[in-house]
Amino acid sequence: MERPLIVALDFPSKKEVKNFLRFFSDESLFVKVGMELFYQEGPSIIDYLKEQNHRVFLDLKLHDIPNTVKSAMKGLARLGCDLVNVHAAGGRAMMEGALEGLEAGTSFGKKRPYCIAVTQLTSTGEEQMKQEQLIPVSLEQSVLHYAKLANDSGLDGVVCSTYESQLIHSKLSNSFLTVSPGIRLAVEAAQDQKRVATPKLARESGVSAIVVGRSITRAENPLENYLFIKKEWEGAI
């Protein structure tokens, strides 16, 4: 996967997605579909995006018993998703099951979708993790532990902040994908994200892919912001 800029389609329905994509008539994008949109529109939204020539990260963060995740992943691979994810907390057998399902749902001769793991949600603080999950180590150690578990289970990478990417790459291989949300331009406010980074810092930190939502979707001119962020991410400015 060549260091893509992934645009988070955090919209309630296809209507808003269509309106947004009107700005990008000539661009083939890598988009992220989350629970909000998928639970309303179902698999047809993936068909629609693929027909428009966009690559799709289906961000459903699966977490269930291994057999259920395996069967669900078989179906997601059939939809033609390019990237999917699970919670590493589901364990090794569940992550291995996810990969088996993806392989089973991929047509002969094609490459299965990439599969990455969520370690600790970025909304989880260290105190909360200690009190609610009874994990007695630091948040960073927990993130690294889950990243290693995902790597040992054969997954392709993890979702993590720009600040964790370097640490993960130093302990695992550089080819293990780090996919980072929480990206903001230097002039913007962080909004509800706690640890934000600019596209430039993400690039310099070796992040494999950035996920950008509101900086593009809420912009007055989404195409202009997209192209600006892309340039910065690719090191052209």
Binding-site sequence positions for substrate: 10, 32, 59-68, 122, 184, 193, 213-214
Q: Looking only at residues 204 through 233 of this chain, which bind ligand C5P when binding is defined by CB under 6 A?
A: 211-215
Q: Write 189-197 long-range contacts (CB < 8 A, 24+).
A: 193/122, 194/122, 194/123, 195/122, 195/161, 195/162, 195/163, 197/161, 197/162, 197/163
Q: Closer CB to ligand C5P, residue 106 or residue 193?
A: 193
Q: Which stretch binds ligand C5P (CB under 6 A): 94-102, 145-153, 181-189, 227-235?
A: 181-189
199 counts as binding ligand C5P under rule CB under 6 A: no
- Select which of 47, 64, 74, 200 is catalytic: 64
Interaction mask 26-45, ligand C5P, x per CB under 6 A: --------x-----------
203 counts as binding ligand C5P under rule CB under 6 A: no
Task: Give me the phi and psi of 222, to 5 degrees please.
Answer: -55, -40
61: enclosing H helix or E strand: strand 55-62
CB of 126 to ligand C5P, least distance (A): 15
Q: Looking only at residues 101 through 140 of this chain, which bind ligand C5P when binding is defined by CB under 6 A?
A: 121-122
59 carries an active-site annotation: yes
CB atoms within 10 A of CB 111: 8
Q: What is the C-alpha separation between 210 and 227, in angstroms, rounded? A: 14
61 carries an active-site annotation: yes
Whose CA is closest to 4, among 99, 79, 80, 114?
114
Residues 181, 199, 205, 207: which binds ligand C5P (CB under 6 A)?
181
Q: DSSP string spanning 187-230?
A: TS--TT-SS-B-HHHHHHTT-SEEEE-HHHHTSSSHHHHHHHHH
CB of 127 to ligand C5P, least distance (A): 18
End-to-end Cα, the chain, rounded Å? 22
198 counts as binding ligand C5P under rule CB under 6 A: no
CA–centroid distance for 147 within its chain: 14
Q: Which residues here bind ligand C5P, judged by CB under 6 A?
A: 8, 10, 34, 121-122, 159, 181-183, 193, 211-215
Catalytic residues: 59, 61, 64
